[in-house]
Each structure stands twice: as structure tokens, then as C-alpha cells.
Structure 1
Amino acid sequence: MTKSNLPQAFRHPYKFDPQFAKSVAYFSMEFAIDQALKTYSGGLGFLAGSHMRSAYELKQNVIGIGILWKYGYYDQTRKTDNAMDVLFREKIYSFLEDTGIQFTIEVHHTPVWVKAYYLDPKHFNTVPMFFLTTDIDGNDWLARSISHRLYDSITSAKLAQCMVLGLGGARLLDELGYEPEVYHLNEAHAVSAAFHLYQKYGSAEEVRRRMVFTTHTPEEAGNEKHDINQLNVMSFFGKVPLETVREITGTEDNVFNHSLAALRLSRKANGVSRLHGEVSRHMWGSYAGIPEITHVTNAQNQRYWADTELENARNRNDLKAIAGRKKSLKATLFKTVADQAGKLFDPDVLTMVWARRFAGYKRPDLLVQDDERFHHLMNHPKYPIQFIWAGKPYPSDEGATHTFNSLVYRSHLHKNMAVLTGYELALSKQLKDGSDLWLNTPVVTREASGTSGMTAAMNAGINFSTFDGWICEFAEHQKNAFIVPVAAPGLSPEERDAHDRTFFFDQLENEILPLYYEKPDEWNKLTLQSMNDVNAFFNSNRMATEYFQKVY
């Protein structure tokens, strides 16, 4: 029989809505809950944080399980020449409670102590959440370091992190005396939980009865794979024998595909946008033992992200109030620009922002690759523009760091261009509040969903984007967004980039800037339409509801 009650000290502070009474444990490597709690790197964490907030708002029977990262992802700072620097600073959180729960899991056949901390829902309006750490007395330095850095660059360390989340998270539930009806893996990081469940219940069928899986990766090559023998030596599969692991995951060679194993051990899976659901079904459809793959389009928590004054003005259809509040929010953002970059931006000038994780396929420097047109845009004789970049490259991704720094150096040539550091929840909120135009430049089909543009739209920012991810379910060109048409198939990467770049510049110069400066009433109507459309479907309350309806 399922033990459906958490211990009294950790229970939800509400009576469950009957439609959301099924018990769910949500496993995620990262959660962006609040600026004060640095347990995230980027979009996956932003999404998980919004999910936990919406589950609380809707009175759902969900708990969150993550890892307490001692140094977080990293603190993004600057070197003496303003290039990006990486700082790993210890984080201490007085608001997390010691649960008193401590247990060991085996890593490399060595016992490693794991301790659980609790985040009370009262602090940040989330469901009850538990964060695991190995940085405790009783562990040697190597064991303590497992929970030091989110997404450690050393393969064995990252695998150990996945084991703490999966095996450790599942073991935590046993220590709590709690058996949720659903184990929801947000990405495949926690797939080792399946092997704990197999040990506990004795069959793959029983694992599948409990487990569901969300995939965020639209390319098969992007899914983590490791040598199954290395994983076995690391005790990744708990006490499940290697022959049994091969049998229940369908692994015939020595390549263990984490996402494929998660799919085969889940009763249901989902992509994170309508398009991504189609891509996922196509990508995995030829493999045996794959469950139904549906889609639940990502969304963000409106109550957390939307500016209250803007939202009140939207509900009144008050275009003048929206425009006035927007100008005030821009002025607030521009104080940060002045502080970081020494530049004084003007709230009356159209401001475009590119801000998200720095990754090659997202093409942060797409527009600057055409020197002549970019220079003309930044020195437009008739229509001024201000341009802000922000985002964190993976700390050991030299290519992405080089791109970030090249933008920093280029910004010295333009008084209306700024590159900001410290892209976390607080700066992200400022940028969403202060952007007129939210630039999104991924290579089409590479962005599973993306969510930053949702929260920009909630705060009267217009999306300006390639046609990919969630945008395909939202955008109507010139009605609530500006969309670059998809390049013809078969082009080389250089030809594709040139196609997209040309359309971005053409639309800026011929449509967007004239509209903003010459037809402000039409711009304001477009902004209101964007706000209404994003709130109609892309609030994570809808997403959290759909998980219960379509996946759990």
C-alpha cells in the first residue's frame, strides 16, 4: 500500500485540490526558486522553479527533490579588462532546515554520506522541497565535492551528481517513509532512481507504473551517453546486476543512453512544446520499448514574473498605463546598465535585449557578424536603438566565453550597446521588465522550447525570433510578435545564418523601428495583444495542470 503522507514537519500547508491529489515527487538537477537560492544554471531551472510555484498555487500534491550546490553554477564576474571571469563562492542559506535525515549511497562501491535539507513553502511560495548535499562531515574531500558545482566538467563527478539526485533522491523518500505514486524525472539526470525502484519493487513493470520522464533535448546526439561498464564500476545502478540493467534498459552494446533508458523505464514521457513532442516521437520512434511521448508546452509562473502594475494595466486594457509603466521599468534597468557598463541609456529609445544561456546554437552574436549592417543599425540616422546582452556560458566552454568577451569588447565601440554580467533571476527580471524587444536567435529545430520570451511578453516586451520551440504555438507575425521566416532546407550553416541575419536586419530597419517611433499607438496595441496571448496559455499554472491531466 502506498504511504501517501509526508511526516508532519514537511507536509503541504494546504488541503489538496481533489483533481491534483495524486502524489508526485519531481526530480530536477536545478531549481530557480529565488535569487537568494542559487541552485540553477539556466532555463531548465527557471522552468522547474515556475513548476514548483504553480504546484503550490494550485494546491497540488507535489514535492521537489534537488541538490544543494555549495558553489551554485558559478558567480559571473569580470577580469580587469572587463572580460568575463568565473568565481566559485561558497553559498550559505540560513532559511534551509536540516531535516535530520542522513544516509549513505554507494559511489565507486564506497559509501558516501548524503544529508537532506528542507525548504519550507512559506519562504518562496513553493511546494515542500528537499535539497541533498554530500558536503558534510564523514565524507572525504572527493565525496564532499560531488555537490560542489552544478554540472561539474569532470565526467565521473557529474555522474556521481546524477547518482546523488536519482539514487539519493529515491532513498530520501524511503527515509521519509513516503511512497509517491509518481516519480517525475525532469530530464534524465535522475535516471538512476529507476534502479533503486527496481531493487525495491522487483520488476521493470513496477518501475514503469511509477515513473514518468520529461525530455528537453531535441537532438539524439545531445542526450548523455556513457560506457555501461564505467557506470557499473561507479555503482550507478545501485545493487542491480549489470546483466539485469542491460535487460530492463534494452542496452545490447556498451553505450548506456540515459534518455533512452529513462524512456524505456517510464510509462509515459513528454516533450516540452508541440513541435518538440513531434521531434521526440520521430527521434525515438524507431527504438523498441518506447512509451507514449506526448507534449506539455513549457510555461512560466505569471504571479512571480509579471510586474503587478503592468498586469493591472493589461486587465484594464489601458495602453497609456502600460506604456508609462514600461518607461519606468526601463529606467530601473538602465541604472544597472550605468552601474555595470558606465553607459546612460534613454527610456524613450527602443531597447532590444538578448539574454539567456550562452550556447553556440542560440547564436548570441548573429547580428554582429555583419559588421557593416550592425554598425549602421547602432548609428541609425533616424531611429535610435539600444542593445543589451546578458547570459552565462558554461564555465569551461571556451567558445561561448570567447563569444561573450567579443561582445564585451565590441560594446566599447558603441555608447548604446551594453553587455551585463550576473544573469540570474534578479537580473533576468530586470531585463524582461526593461526590454521593448526580446531577441531570440536559435537555429531552427535546435530549441526544444525556450521560455525567456514568455516572461518578456508578460512584461510588455515584444518577441523578435526565429520560428522555433514555444514560439510556434504563440507568435503571429506583426500581430503579437515579429518572426523571421524559416530558411530553406539544405542550406549550409553559413547560408542559413546569412538568411536569418538579413531578415532580422530588414525587419528591424523597415518594420520595427518605424512602428515604434512613428506609430506608437499601433506599437502599444501590439504589446497588449502579446501580453494577452502569452497569459492565455503560457502561464505555468496551465502547464502544471496539464502534467496531471496528460502525464501523471
Structure 2
Amino acid sequence: MEKHNAWKKFTWEPRIAYFSMEIGLSAEIPTYSGGLGILAGDTIKSAADLELPMVAVTLIHRKGYFRQQIDRDGWQREFPVEWNPERHLELLSVKTLVPIEGRDVKIQPWLYRVKSPAGGVIPVLFLDTDIPGNAEEDRHVTDYLYGGDLEYRLKQEIVLGIGGARMLNALNFNIRKYHMNEGHAAMLTLELLSNTRGRIDDPSEERAAWDLHRVMEQCVFTTHTPVEAGHDKFPWDMVERILPDIVPFSLLKQLTGNDAFNLTLLALNLSNFVNGVAKKHGEISKSLFPGFKIHAITNGIHSFTWTSPFFVQVYNKYLPGWANEPEMLVRVDNIPDEDIWEAHQGAKAFLFMYIEETTGQRFDPDLLTIGFARRSATYKRADLIFSDLERLLAIGDGKLQLVFAGKSHPKDLPGKEMIHRIHEKIAVLKDRIRIVYLENYNMDVAYRLIPGVDLWLNTPVRPLEASGTSGMKAAINGVPNFSVLDGWWIEGHIEGVTGWSIGPPPMEKSTSSNGDNHEDAQDLYRKLENTILPLYTGNRAGWIRVMKNAIGKNAYYFNTHVMMRRYVTEAYIR
């Protein structure tokens, strides 16, 4: 039951409104699919820790993204996620309206409070259209994350952007800045723009009647996608039929492009601060959108959320206060080697117990265990390590074991085929190298998997990894990265010190590449055979030194506390 005016205390001071299509706060609230949503959740948690005045807006996704099952032939199957918002969120009585296809669609908000041990509290509003009185099709607009067709996506983004801005106004929030986490929320700028129209006498001066500068001063935009095809675009005939008529289409085409309704261009044109999510990604974004000033603020992780309980105990003992001051991790050398190793062995046993419970496979704690878990998309090349099975067997037979996880978007057939190919390799190698593919990768599985492996593998095609926060989650748990030099790893990598690279150095030019599978695979095998395995099996002190460097040279910096301090000083108080 709603507490009377539960949100009122959050409206007493100006706030940063953080809009994201997906937000990952816990596995019990399955309103996320992967890195973008987890980043959003970690951002909000750090804002609470730092007691920053923020309010977050997202959609409720009553059916979640999907629950993944993999059949005995290795093919992914998708099922709706069953969860009850009433068990975790608080329904507020205030409603607002947004026109979709000429129909007034009611929107209601659910409130969740992200509470920090430091005392900060951040309200998160989950927008919901499943309300009696709405047309049946409109009631399901907020059901599935990234579900349905292009029309469904457009309607969702109208609810998030325009509906979200109207909801904040209906709840009397005083917003200082609007931060769009990716282009899905860009239509909030249209709602802001619709409130700036002045009077004009000359129709040819229509653009001047809208205060674009005023909207720009209120907006911050973070782009996450390093390829042109990844940006949301909608055909104009669809937009003219579905979008509410709050800004003239002649002006919209100036702001989003004549060829299509491009939400990234809309956000770029109406934001005073724009950033990519790693230094390299900032360069790529400038090449994709020449003429725009694009900064770079590298992503991070919420340190406490992603640290295994075994390392939490060690950090608490030797580095008290680290959770709210992760920069203290630079003092990791104060922790004895044996305590680091014991904590890692605890995390490893925790993962292996989960593997045995869910797959029946019993892993050997003495073998080098490599982890790979992220969305199954072809450019991430999850199967690169299987490029040459004879070479892999010569290197790893009886010496290493592999753990995979990750979902493919239901409509991404090549991504599903990659999962299937990995299962075929598992069957071929099963008597020589233990390999498992864990189902339904989510926050709970990641919390077990990432800290429990010895080495974190990442093999994207350069330069398509915008940032890549899974490697940061590994580093906070003393797990070194073995990765292609792309995204954040360009900044975090010191060869043989914080981990190891795969393939050539980063490209000088910010143009896309198809990658060289053979070259990268050969470098992977060479370093695994000649450097990584000998260090792990023959020089424990040397391996622990790399573990400590991952913590003290990577984890101390690549976290959302550092990231949020940069957003505050560079974007929010400009």
C-alpha cells in the first residue's frame, strides 16, 4: 500500500534526472539485459553513496528481458520472466498522460529507494502503462525490455522520454539537469522543447520560436554505441503516425535528420554535454558524428556490489572504508599474499559449488580457470578460443578449464548460433578440457562467476567494445584481464602487470575493422601457453603480484565513484 506522498521528501531540492531504458539494481528486479542496465544501477548506487541529489527514471518491464534456457542440443530458448512489482516497489497514485497514435495513454509510477549505508537515498521511478482504461495494446507497452518490433520500441521510448519528463513534473520534482543514458530517452528533449515555445509573427522564423539553447543547457547525453547501425532510427511515416504532435515535424527533421528519426542525433543536437564511455570510444563517436564536441568519461562499476564476500572481508580488515573510498585499494600491498590467495580460493569454491549444482560438472580447484560471460553477439567472438582445437588441446589438456555464460537477443540468430557452436565444442572437448555454459546469465550468476575464475577473457572485434565493465568486476576481485585492447582495457592494461593483451595495439584511426581472427587467436594461444599458464602453475607469488596489480592499478580507479565525481564536475555543474 502506498505511503501518503512517499516521494515528497525527494522534491525539496533540485535533482539530476537520470533516464535509462534499463536499470539493473538486483536480480529480483529483472529490468535489465546487460552492461547498459548494470551500469545504470551501479551509477545510482554510487550516487546514493556520495549523497548526490538524483532521481532515476526507467520502465517497469513486467515480463523482464527473458529467462534463458539452453536445450540439450545447445540452442537457446526464451521464456518470460515472472516477477511481482508489488513485492519490491511502491505504487504511487499520481498519473500522467502521453498521446500515442492519437490515443491518450495513462502512465503510473512505481517507486524504489536505493539506500546506501552512508545514508544517501536515491528514488527510482519505474513507469507502467498496464492500467485499466488504457487500450489493451497500450497496457503492454512497458512489458518487455527490447521486445516486439520497431513500432513497439518507438512507443516505449515515447513513454520513457516524454512520459518520464511529464511524470517528474506531475510529482513536482525540481530538475537541474536531465542525463540521458543512451539515445532511448532522447524524446525527453521534445517535452522540454515544447515548454519553450515563444510567440512569432513570421512563419519563416519558426525555429527561432523554440528555445533550443535553454533545452541544451538542461541536458547531458552519454552515448554507448560505437557503430552507426546501433543507434535508434525510425522511419518518418511511422513517427508521424505514432508520435504526439508536440513539436513541428519540420523542426524535428532539422534536429534528427531528413532520412529517418534518429534519436542519437536528437540527443546530440539538444545536449550541452555529450560523452563516450571510454577514451577510445570518445574518439570513435567523434568520427561517427563529426562536428559535435564529444568528451570521454570512462565507465566504472559499483565496487561494493561486485566484490565477493571473501574479498569484502579481506578489504574490511586491511583497508577499512574502502567501499566508499575505493581509491584506497591502491594500498593493496598492505594485504599479505596468503590472504589474497585464500580469498580467491574461497570465491573459486563458491563458483565451483554453483557449477556442480546447476550442471553436474565438478571442476578442479587447482586448474587455471578462464571465464567469459557477456551478451552473445558475433562481434564479441566468444568462440575465438576454439579457433584451433588441436592447438588448444596441446596447450590446455589437463591444465585449464573454461566457464562461459551469456544471452543472445531473441532475434539475433547469429548470436544464438554462436552459443550452439560453443556447445558443440564442449561436446568435442569434454574428455580433455572441462567446459560449462551457465544458463540465464544475470546479476546473481555474475556475482558468483566473475570472482571465481582465475582469468577474465574478452575478445571483441576492435573497435566495437565501447567500454566493457565485466573486466572491471574481475579486477576488483583480483582476477586479471586477458583481453583485446579495446574499450576500457586500453586505459587499464599494463602488459604482464595488470593482465595481458590479445592481438595488436589499438588502431591509430577511429575507423571500424573486421578484426583478424587468425592473428588474435594465435596471440591468445601463444600468451596462454608461454606466459600465463607457466606463471599460474609455476610461480604463485608472481601470479598474486598480477592479482594485486589488478586491484591496486585497475579497481582503485575504474569504479562508479570516480566516474560520478567526473560527471558532477564536468557535466552536472557546468
Q: TM-score, normalised by structure 1?
A: 0.91
- Structure 1 residue aligned with 2:91, among 85, 89, 98? 98
Whole-angstrom distance in 2 between the partners of 1:432 and 1:80: 25
Structure 1 pair 201/178, CA: closer, same or farther in 2 (3 Å)?
farther
Question: Do structure 1's residue 42 and structure 2's residue 34 form an aligned pair?
Answer: yes
Relative to structure 1, is the Cα distance of residues 158 and 505 closer, same or farther in structure 2, using a 3 angstrom cutoff? same
Distance of 2:172 and 2:9 partners within structure 1: 16
Q: Which residue of 1 aligns with 2:145?
A: 150
Distance 1:487 1:376 in 2: 27
Cα distance in 2, alignment partners of residues 341 and 158 from structure 1: 36
Q: Which moved more, 1:336-345 or 1:422-431?
A: 336-345
| Structure 1 runs, 4 residues or longer, greater than 3 Å off | 11-15, 80-83, 122-126, 312-316, 487-495
**Which residue does 2:106 correspond to in 1?**
113
Q: How does 1:113-262 map to 2 (within 5 A)?
A: 113-122=106-115, 127-202=122-197, 203-235=211-243, 238-247=245-254, 249=255, 251=257, 253-262=258-267
CA distance in 2 between partners of 1:30 and 1:529 (Å):
33
Matches within 5 A, 1:393-404: 393-404=408-419
**1:385-415 superposed Cα distances (whole Å, 9 cap, x missing partner):** 0101001111121111111122123223325
1:84 CA drift (Å):
2.2
**Residues 14 and 59 in structure 1, CA contact (< 8 A), matched pair in contact too:** no
- The residue that corresponds to 1:516 in the other structure is 536
Q: After superposition, give the CA deviation of every residue in 1:6-52 in whole Å (9 maximum; x if it has no partner).
A: x962266899xxxxx86200000011101111000000011101100
Query: What does 1:372-387 correspond to in 2, within 5 Å?
Result: 372-380=390-398, 384-387=399-402
Query: How far apart are 1:461 and its partner, in Å?
Result: 0.7
| Post-superposition CA distance 1:257-308 (Å, at most 9, x none) | 211111001111001011111221232124xxx3x31111000001211130
The 5 A counterparts of 1:442-457 are 442-457=460-475
CA distance in 2 between partners of 1:428 and 1:208 (Å) = 38
- Structure 2 equivalent of residue 10 of structure 1: 7
Determine whether 1:351 maps to 2:356.
no
> Aligned in 2, Cα 1:296/1:488: closer, same or farther, shift over 3 Å?
closer
Q: Greater CA deviation, 124-133 or 471-480?
A: 124-133
Look up the equivalent residue of 2:246 and give its one-letter code. K
1:430-509 to structure 2, matched below 5 A, reads: 430-486=448-504, 496-509=516-529
Note if contact 1:487-1:500 (Cα within 8 Å) is conserved in structure 2: no
Q: Indicate the residue corresponding to 1:323 in structure 2.
A: 341
Structure 1 residue 488, shift from structure 2 partner: 9.3
Tell whether 2:566 aligns with 1:546.
yes
Report the 3-state secondary structure (helix = DSSP H, G, I; strand = E; otherwise coil) of the residue aligned with 1:101: coil
Offset of residue 201 of structure 1: 2.2
Deviations 1:240-265 (CA, angstroms, capped at 9, x unpaired)? 12123224x163x2322211111001
CA distance in 1, matches of 2:223, 2:515: 30
Give identity over the alignment, percent: 31
- 2:273 counterpart letter in structure 1: K
Partners of 2:464 and 2:512 within 8 A in 1: no
The DSSP-based 3-state class of the residue aligned with 2:420 is: helix
Structure 1 SS opposite 2:111:
strand
Structure 1 residues without counterparts, runs of 5 or longer:
1-6, 16-20
Maintained 8 Å contact 2:370/2:457: yes
Residue 355 of structure 2: aligned partner: 337
Structure 2 residue runs without a partner (length 5+): 198-210, 319-331
User: Quick one: structure 1 residues 239 and 369, their matched pair in 2 at CA, closer, same or farther if it must change by over 3 Å?
Assistant: same
SS of the residue aligned with 1:388?
strand
Q: Which amino acid is 2:563 matched to?
A: M
Matched, 1:278 2:283: yes
In the alignment, the residues of structure 2 paired with residue 482 and residue 33 of structure 1 have an alpha-carbon distance, to the nearest angstrom, of 31
2:78 aligned partner: 86
Whether contact under 8 Å (1:196, 1:238) holds in the other structure is: no
Do the aligned partners of 1:388 and 1:418 also contact (CA within 8 Å) in 2? yes
**Distance of 2:195 and 2:333 partners within structure 1:** 51
Q: What is the CA–CA distance in structure 2 between the aligned matches of 1:324 and 1:97, rounded to whole Å?
A: 42
CA contact (8 A) 2:48 2:115 kept: no
Aligned partner of 1:4 in structure 2 is none
What code does the residue aligned with 2:44 have?
Answer: M
Cα distance change of structure 1 residues 54 and 476 upon mapping to structure 2, 3 Å threshold = same
Question: Once the two structures are superposed, what CA deviation does each residue of 1:109-168 show, in whole Å capped at 9, x if it has no partner?
Answer: 111121110002349976111000112222232112211110124110011111111011
Q: Is the 8 A contact 1:195 1:238 kept in 2?
A: no
CA 1:315 to 1:45, structure 2 compared with 1: closer, same or farther past 3 Å? farther
Question: 2:141 and 2:522 mapped to 1: Cα distance?
Answer: 46
Residue 221 of structure 1 deviates from its aligned partner by 2.9
**Is the counterpart of residue 390 in structure 1 residue 405 in structure 2?**
yes
Contact 1:115/1:134 (<8 A) preserved: yes
Residues 1:525 and 2:545 are matched in the alignment:
yes
Counterpart CA distance in 2 for 1:106 and 1:265 is 22
Q: Shift of the alpha carbon at 1:367?
A: 1.3
RMSD: 2.3
Structure-1 residue corresponding to 2:305: 304
Q: Would the aligned equivalents of 1:365 and 1:407 in 2 still touch at CA under 8 Å?
A: yes
| More displaced stretch, 76-85 vs 413-422 | 76-85
Closer, same or farther in 2 for the Cα pair 1:34/1:502, shift >3 Å? same
How many residues end up aligned between the 2 structures? Answer: 531
> Which residue identity does 2:376 align to in structure 1?
F
Closer/same/farther in 2, CA of residues 221 and 294 from structure 1, 3 Å limit: same
- Partner SS for 2:179: strand
CA contact (8 A) 2:95 2:108 kept: yes
* Residue identity opposite 1:101 in structure 2: V
Q: Is the 8 A contact 1:69 1:147 kept in 2?
A: yes
Structure 1 contact 12–127 (Cα < 8 Å) conserved: no
CA distance in 2, matches of 1:250, 1:394: 27
Q: What is the identity, as a one-letter code, of the residue corresponding to 1:543?
A: M
In structure 1, which of residues 407, 411, 414 is the aligned counterpart of residue 426 of structure 2?
411
Asked if structure 2 preserves the Cα contact closer than 8 Å seen for 1:52 and 1:126, the reply is: no
The alignment partner of 1:533 has SS state of: helix
